[in-house]
Amino acid sequence: MFLTALQQQNPALIACAVQLLNDGVVLPDTYVIDVDQFKQNAKLIKQQADVFNIRLYAMTKQFGRNPVLAKMLTQELGYDGIVCVDFKEARYFQQQGITVSHVGHLVQPPSQFIKALVETIKPEVVTLYSLEKAQELSVAASKVNYNQSVLVKFFQEGDSLYPNQEAGFPLSTLPQVLKSISELPNLTVVGITHFPCFLYDNVTRITQPTVNLLTAVSAIKQAEALGYTMSHCNFPSSTSFETIPIIHEYGGTHGEPGHALTGTIPSNQNGSQPEKIAMLYLTEISHQFADRSYCYGGGYYNRSQVEAALVFEPQSSQKRLLPFHPNAGNNIDYYFQLEGLAVVGSPVVMAFRTQLFVTRSDVALVEGISTSQPRLLGLFDTQGKQIQR
């Protein structure tokens, strides 16, 4: 999906990754991240956010919950914390001394985790979409005399909800829901959120607001009409240099960049965005079968939209572009299949839509690529834990 942009924006990352594999520094099934370019992307997004007075929580699941990059974002570049996709990420980052600012948006905190959430993690906001979870949070916060700020997620008919992520209160119930939550001890409703609020349009080739964003704006207006102060209007998905002005236009206060930090946003598939590709997938040809080449897997994501791979055959200065053969939906990704025959042992480079935290890949952080002096900063698994080699 992003090979064109990768070759156009960051060819040095390709050369570095292939050399790392050939030298035995990394193994197949490794995501290689250009730390210098990642940092430049993060700075660019933060500068744009500052112009429009938008606060940023970084979404790290896409690049493997990496603590080095998370600390860079929060302790060096001025991001307001991390939005944790689930309780395991929140637990890990708290242990690493990294600011956890938003919990509960995609995955609600489990009942037996809420005590730790309010006692030790203390996120700036927790998103709620059930009264039962609000009650649990209230009880736990009351026991430690802690006041927890919360966001509430509403939806209405016609909204776009991803399969298996359906959640929220019906917008028609907003007055009763806000009243019920506000009456619970030690909880304060401070804002509204929804997801996804932006999606890339393949026809117009721009990232556009969704109907979900309009639902969130309607919820904010209704809440304010009832006397609630909505100081936190969080409009996540596809937060980038391109969408931050639109967040501001619709009255948003917060965004949550993830893929934009590595340049792997749909609008950048042709290399047209200011964020540049900072991550690729590196593997190796394992064997051939029939008319296809098989390369080591482990990093496949079924919404990756991967289309092709670059193959670097030994004893050849030429790279070959081989089409990707889609994996069957019921398949374990032992291998990626490529159309055509390639030499066993050849390095393979891909660039596609990722969710590293659901893979079993390695993650290599490399700095100095931009100065032609690459250095492996560390090797991690996709849950952010360092690997000793």
342-362 pLDDT per residue, tens: 999 999 999 998 999 999 999
Q: Are residue 144 and residue 189 in the same domain, yes or no? A: yes
Q: pLDDT tens digits, residue range 246-264?
A: 999 999 999 999 999 999 9
C-beta of residue 82 within 8 angstroms of C-beta of residue 97: no
To 10 degrees, what angle do helices 174-182 and 131-143 make? 20
Q: Are residue 19 and residue 76 in the same domain, yes or no? A: no
Q: Are residue 302 and residue 344 in the same domain, yes or no? A: yes
82 within a domain of the structure (yes/no)? yes
181 within a domain of the structure (yes/no)? yes
Task: Identify the domain boundary among 259, 282, 313.
Answer: 259
Share of the chain above pLDDT 70, in %: 100
Strand 347-350 to 319-325 pairing: unpaired
Give yes or no for residue 313 having a pLDDT over 80. Answer: yes
Element (H, E) at 103: strand 100-103
Q: Are residue 276 and residue 248 in the same domain, yes or no? A: no
Q: State residue 172's pLDDT score.
A: 98
C-beta of residue 207 within 8 angstroms of C-beta of residue 201: yes
Residue 97 — pLDDT band, cuts 50, 70, 90?
very high
Q: Are residue 22 and residue 100 in the same domain, yes or no? A: no
Number of structural domains found in the chain: 2
Q: Are residue 339 and residue 239 in the same domain, yes or no? A: no
DSSP 375: E
Q: Are residue 45 and residue 183 in the same domain, yes or no? A: yes
For 80, 325, 387, the CA distances from 66, given in Å and listed in that order, are: 17, 30, 12
388 within a domain of the structure (yes/no)? no
For 168, 233, 241, 332, the CA distances from 193, given in Å and listed in that order, are: 10, 6, 20, 35
Strand 319-325 to 148-155 pairing: unpaired
Give yes or no for residue 315 having a pLDDT over 80. Answer: no
Task: Identify the domain boundary among 232, 259, 286.
Answer: 259
Distance between CA atoms of 99 and 7, rounded to whole angstroms?
A: 35
Q: Are residue 248 and residue 325 in the same domain, yes or no? A: no
Q: Are residue 59 and residue 180 in the same domain, yes or no? A: yes
148 within a domain of the structure (yes/no)? yes
288 within a domain of the structure (yes/no)? yes
14 within a domain of the structure (yes/no)? yes
Q: State residue 244's pLDDT score.
A: 98
Distance between CA atoms of 382 and 287, rounded to whole angstroms?
A: 26
Distance between CA atoms of 105 and 92, rounded to whole angstroms?
A: 17
Where residue 52 sits, what CATH number does that domain have? 3.20.20.10
Q: pLDDT tens digits, residue range 182-213?
A: 999 999 999 999 999 999 998 888 899 999 99
Q: Are residue 255 and residue 370 in the same domain, yes or no? A: no
User: Range of 11's domain?
Assistant: 3-34+272-379
Task: Identify the domain boundary among 259, 289, 304.
Answer: 259
